[in-house]
Amino acid sequence: MSSTITRRQLLGAAGAAAALAIDSRRALAEAYPVRPVRLVVPFAAGGPTDVVARLTGQWLSERLGQQFIIENRPGAGGSVGTEVVVRAPPDGYTLLQVGAFTVVNAALYDNLSFSFARDITPVASMFSTPLVMVANPSLPAKTIPEFIAYAKRQSRQDQYGVERNWRNAPRHRRTVQNDGWR
């Protein structure tokens, strides 16, 4: 005995199968978070990265109904805390509060045990801050090209300062020199 399936029956069966597949995946998906989340700050408590992490953790706790525990792991310009996160299980329960200055470590240090490109996945941009270059108002240069031209004309060794983990980095100085600042 042969039976024929109409186009309407076939489409109905396909639609039902698709709906069941969607519902079964939804049933298997676990709500997040179901336990406390660790938010690692790779710097000492009280700094700007820590303050943003604490505000973010409080905000997420209130909205998701689960604790976000701030854990400060300072050292090596942020590398100690970053390594803690890299070595944690990739389950979304250990997060890293990081700024652009932490990513600079990849350019400053040859011996890091991790790679930001390989081992860290960006989740969200939290905030942004402008970077500015300032000088004494008596300096005749008012733009970056004017400053570079001015610095090249000087016979003396110019001094400069940079923030955070760049301040004592010989590589940064070489980069500035190689990019034509001198």
> What pLDDT is recorded for position 91?
94
What's the predicted TM-score (pTM) here?
A: 0.60
Residues 99 and 42 in one domain: yes
Asked if residue 109 belongs to a domain, the reply is yes
Asked if residue 112 belongs to a domain, the reply is yes
Residues 112 and 76 in one domain: yes
> What pLDDT is recorded for position 39?
97
Closest CA to 112 of 136, 144, 77: 77
Strands (E), 24-159: 37-41, 68-72, 94-96
Q: Name the burial class of residue 93, with classes exposed (0-12), middle (13-18) and buried (19+) by CB atoms within 10 angstroms of its CB.
A: middle
Closest CA to 168 of 78, 77, 74, 44: 77
Question: How many structural domains comprise the chain?
Answer: 2
Closest CA to 109 of 160, 71, 75: 75
- Average of per-residue pLDDT values in the chain: 78
Residues 115 and 41 in one domain: yes
Residues 88 and 43 in one domain: yes
What CATH number did the domain enclosing 78 receive?
A: 3.40.190.150
- Tell me the residue range of the domain where 50 lies: 37-119
Which is higher by pLDDT, 6 or 11? 6
> What pLDDT is recorded for position 166?
45
Asked if residue 81 belongs to a domain, the reply is yes
Asked if residue 101 belongs to a domain, the reply is yes
Q: What is the pLDDT of residues 60-96, one digit of tens each?
A: 999 999 999 999 999 988 889 999 999 999 999 999 9
Asked if residue 7 belongs to a domain, the reply is no
Task: Put residue 96 in one of left, alpha, beta given phi > 0 → left and psi -120 to 50 → alpha.
Answer: beta
Residues 45 and 113 in one domain: yes
Q: What is the pLDDT of residues 112-165, one digit of tens each?
A: 889 888 898 888 887 776 667 788 899 899 888 898 888 888 766 656 655 555
